[in-house]
Amino acid sequence: MKRLIFIIFFFIANTVIAQNQANKEKADKAFDEKDYVTAAYYYDKALQNGSNSSQGTVPYFSTRQNKDQDDGEVSYITYRAAESYRLYQNLTQAEIWYKQAVNSYEAANPLARYWYAVCLRSNKKIDEAIKNLQTFIKTTKNKQYADLANKELTNCLFAKDQIKTPGLSKVTKMTNLNGDAGDFGLTTNNGKYWFTSSRSIGASTKRINQVYVGDEPDGAKKTRINLGYDPKKEIHYGPASLTPSGKTMYLTIWYKEADKTVSAIYISKNANQKWSAPQMLNTHVNATGYNSMQPSVTDDGKRLFFASNQPGGIGGTDIWVSDLDATGMPVNAKNLGRTINTPDDEQAPYYSTREHKLHFSSKGLVGMGGFDLFESADTAGNTWTKPQNLGYPLNSTKDDLYYYPDDKDTTIAYISSDRESECCLNLFKAKIVRPKPAPVPTAILTGTVINCASGKPLPDVNITLLDSLTKQVVNLITDKTGKYQFKLTYKHTYSLRLEKKDYFAKYAPVPPVTITKVDTLFNPVVCQQEYQINKPIVIDNILYDFNSYDLKPESKTVLDGLITILNDNPKIKVELGSHTDAVGTDRANNELSQDRAQECVNYIILKGIAPERIIAKGYGRQVPIAPNTLPNGQDNPEGRKLNRRTEFTVLSNE
């Protein structure tokens, strides 16, 4: 009987192992073909039959011959599952799998923590994302990875600030227009609403993007535009951009070719209520071997903005513009340049000839993560202003694209976002509330800046006042008496930043504006500390017990001041040096001073300062600043006290 039970168990176990191995092979094949939905499904199945443990997943590896090999397989499948979910934008599930990869298999998957942080940010767990990015930056030895993480950290900090102080606009999902899959790229033309959707068509289970039109933005009636849809071919259409007459349509057509996506911009014309077969635009727009997409014709019908990775760009997909001839065909193509485009992706342009403003989405500019919406003005016909992030809630921690203003109501705009989806873009309606002109100031803020060492007034300090509600920035320079003066607004909160060459930049407090009539607020006197490259600055009150390098609590408080300097001056790199008196041997003093310096540096790094910005150096008794003995040879306690010191030195500020 026992032998029979063993045979049955052995047969079942091997059957399960074979099934899971087959699932892994199906997943690998789908992943290589960039079919990430299928890949995620089969990677999940490859591990779901057992429970995770320190020994791997059972029973998938219950008959292992080599523990390390089995753990390697579990690590591989876990990370591939995370990648699959991320690459088809299901970042909720991706977060779960990356967390498992970080907790159990981080050494084998060096980017797991980075992508885990990206998912956390996308899922609005900003503080957790920041913590993991800081850990990643400290531990990675790959500069490219560190640069990626630093960029993502900047986005996280920006997102945290945006969510803390949101704008006044409201964003709501367009329930009646959205279908059961992806919906995006809404535009208006002659009272109708055009958008692209991958919703189900009949009994087909394929998700093919098609162009739709509706009579009203919240109406239930939507009509699919027939542009040659063939259910046997997975060819996608849209989004559409129409000329003012509504008779000419520009759109993207794309399809899969092996593991690549091929996309180009086409034109279709309407005659007798029927759209012609789309015709590909010429090579000004569709460079051979490259992808072009997301056309947007201007509201005067004279220019076409679009996104493309064609040669001559800055990197990734860039925003381009073409002039159109009388037939609607492009006669040239011009890249919008480095003010708009970055080495990452810029997409989904819309240009208003009335306002001379460009709206577009970017992954390369500082934002809340993923694609963020930006605005830039066209000055003098060919120069763009610095793009302004549209802020939260128009932007989210996920992808936000296809900004399009309503043609009748200037306070309404339409955007496409996956902020409420685990896979796809959806249509949203935004009620735009722009900051009103600043009311009559209710207070005058006045203060004085002095030199920390001399106590003398400090002229020519560049002071920046930031209104955290309106994001308005005001700059001025202190006069010869070191004084400054700003107008403030009731119920607004502000931050004040002071900058001067060869002085440490710093933030100064601004008292809350809680009064209801014009008055004057007197800010406390603020001092700025001067520095020189490679000139040590003594840090007072860094205290240790005799022959010890353990930091006392009061010493940590002093170091917090240095941390503030480093945070306020993110470009400087410093050396933290420790010195002893002449008591003891050179070797003992060198070791003790190095340990003390390193203990200070460790504390500073623990507080979030990047390790590459600060180094520890123990000098022992080699660099005294006072005699250790008196001229008669007797001990000089006061001199030795001065020599027992901690210093920091600015090594560079660029």
Summarised one tens digit per residue, pLDDT across range 423-446 is 899 999 999 998 776 555 578 888
In a domain, 213, yes or no: no
Q: How many CB atoms lie within 10 A of CB 637?
A: 11
CA 94 – CA 80 distance, rounded (Å): 10
Tokens at 440, concatenated: 């009559």
- pLDDT of 31 above 50: yes
Domain end marker among 387, 405, 431: 431
Report which residue type is found at 398: K
Confidence of residue 8 (pLDDT cuts 50, 70, 90): very low
Q: Are strands 346-352 and 614-620 parallel, antiparallel or unpaired?
A: unpaired
Average pLDDT over residues 13-38: 80
Confidence of residue 379 (pLDDT cuts 50, 70, 90): confident
Looking at the structure, tell me whether residues 277 and 409 fall in a common domain. Answer: yes
Give Cβ neighbours of residue 232 (< 8 Å, ≥ 6 apart).
none
- pLDDT of 53 above 70: no
CA 130 – CA 125 distance, rounded (Å): 9
Average pLDDT over residues 541-552: 78
Q: Do 495 and 466 meet the contact criterion of CB atoms below 8 Å apart?
A: yes
Task: For 404-427, give the DSSP string.
Answer: EE-SS-TTEEEEEE-TT-SS--EE
Angle (deg, nearest 10), helices 126-139 and 112-122: 160
Report which residue type is found at 476: L
pLDDT at 6: 46
Q: Do 136 and 130 meet the contact criterion of CB atoms below 8 Å apart?
A: no
Angle (deg, nearest 10), helices 126-139 and 143-164: 160
pLDDT at 229: 65
Q: How many CB atoms lie within 10 A of CB 518?
A: 12
CA 581 – CA 167 distance, rounded (Å): 57
Domain residues for 140? 2-164
Q: Are strands 614-620 and 279-280 parallel, antiparallel or unpaired?
A: unpaired
Average pLDDT over residues 35-63: 59
Looking at the structure, tell me whether residues 504 and 645 fall in a common domain. Answer: no
Domain at 450, CATH number: 2.60.40.1120
Average pLDDT over residues 207-218: 84
Tokens at 631, concatenated: 């001229």
- pLDDT of 541 above 90: no
pLDDT at 515: 61
How many domains does the structure of the chain reveal?
Answer: 4
Domain end marker among 111, 145, 164: 164
Q: Where do runs of H (alpha helix) occur along 574-648?
A: 586-606, 637-643
pLDDT at 47: 83
Number of H-type helices and E-type strands within the chain: 10, 36
The share of the chain scoring above pLDDT 70, in percent, equals 89
**Alpha-carbon separation of residue 531 from 432, 505, 607 (angstroms):** 47, 11, 23
H or E stretch covering 654: none
Q: Rg of the chain over CA atoms, in angstroms?
A: 31
Looking at the structure, tell me whether residues 129 and 25 fall in a common domain. Answer: yes
Q: Do 410 and 425 meet the contact criterion of CB atoms below 8 Å apart?
A: no
In a domain, 189, yes or no: no
Domain at 46, CATH number: 1.25.40.10
Looking at the structure, tell me whether residues 72 and 148 fall in a common domain. Answer: yes
Looking at the structure, tell me whether residues 488 and 609 fall in a common domain. Answer: no
Domain end marker among 388, 405, 431: 431
Looking at the structure, tell me whether residues 513 and 544 fall in a common domain. Answer: no
In the 8-state DSSP scheme, what is residue 582? S
Q: How far is CA 492 from the centre of its chain?
A: 27
pLDDT at 148: 94
**Nearest one of 320, 322, 294 to 237, comparing CA atoms:** 294
pLDDT at 440: 52
Q: Do 387 and 365 meet the contact criterion of CB atoms below 8 Å apart?
A: yes
Average pLDDT over residues 17-41: 86
Looking at the structure, tell me whether residues 548 and 491 fall in a common domain. Answer: no
By three-state DSSP, how is residue 260 classified?
strand
CA 288 – CA 511 distance, rounded (Å): 60
In a domain, 191, yes or no: no
Looking at the structure, tell me whether residues 524 and 541 fall in a common domain. Answer: no
- pLDDT of 396 above 50: yes
Domain at 632, CATH number: 3.30.1330.60
Looking at the structure, tell me whether residues 398 and 512 fall in a common domain. Answer: no
Longest dimension (CA), the chain: 112
In a domain, 342, yes or no: yes
**DSSP-assigned beta bridge partners for residue 506:** 498
**Alpha-carbon separation of residue 522 from 443, 526, 528 (angstroms):** 10, 11, 18
Report which residue type is found at 607: K
**Nearest one of 286, 369, 334 to 117, comparing CA atoms:** 369
By three-state DSSP, how is residue 104 classified?
helix
pLDDT-wise least confident of 297-301, 380-384, 451-455, 509-513: 380-384
pLDDT in tens, 229-267: 666 678 999 899 999 999 999 999 999 887 789 999 999
CA 579 – CA 617 distance, rounded (Å): 9
pLDDT at 62: 28
Looking at the structure, tell me whether residues 489 and 550 fall in a common domain. Answer: no
At 199, phi and psi to the nearest 5?
-65, 165
Residue 642, judged by CB atoms within 10 A of its CB (0-12, 13-18, 19+), counts as: middle
- pLDDT of 524 above 60: yes
**Alpha-carbon separation of residue 198 from 209, 259, 295, 307, 587 (angstroms):** 4, 20, 19, 21, 73
- pLDDT of 154 above 90: yes
CA 227 – CA 279 distance, rounded (Å): 11
Looking at the structure, tell me whether residues 471 and 411 fall in a common domain. Answer: no
Place of tokens 């060819």: 235
Average pLDDT over residues 365-386: 90
**Alpha-carbon separation of residue 429 from 294, 398, 569 (angstroms):** 20, 17, 40
Place of tokens 């964003």: 171
Confidence of residue 171 (pLDDT cuts 50, 70, 90): very high
In a domain, 584, yes or no: yes
Domain at 426, CATH number: 2.120.10.30
At 404, phi and psi to the nearest 5?
-145, 120
H or E stretch covering 321: strand 318-323
CA 424 – CA 89 distance, rounded (Å): 7
In a domain, 573, yes or no: yes
The share of the chain scoring above pLDDT 90, in percent, equals 65
By three-state DSSP, how is residue 89 classified?
coil
CA 196 – CA 75 distance, rounded (Å): 39
In a domain, 634, yes or no: yes
Looking at the structure, tell me whether residues 256 and 383 fall in a common domain. Answer: yes
At 78, phi and psi to the nearest 5?
-60, -50
What is the residue-averaged pLDDT of the chain? 88
In a domain, 80, yes or no: yes
Confidence of residue 512 (pLDDT cuts 50, 70, 90): confident
pLDDT in tens, 124-146: 999 999 999 999 999 999 999 99
Average pLDDT over residues 264-280: 94
Q: How many CB atoms lie within 10 A of CB 36?
A: 21
pLDDT at 543: 72
- pLDDT of 566 above 80: yes
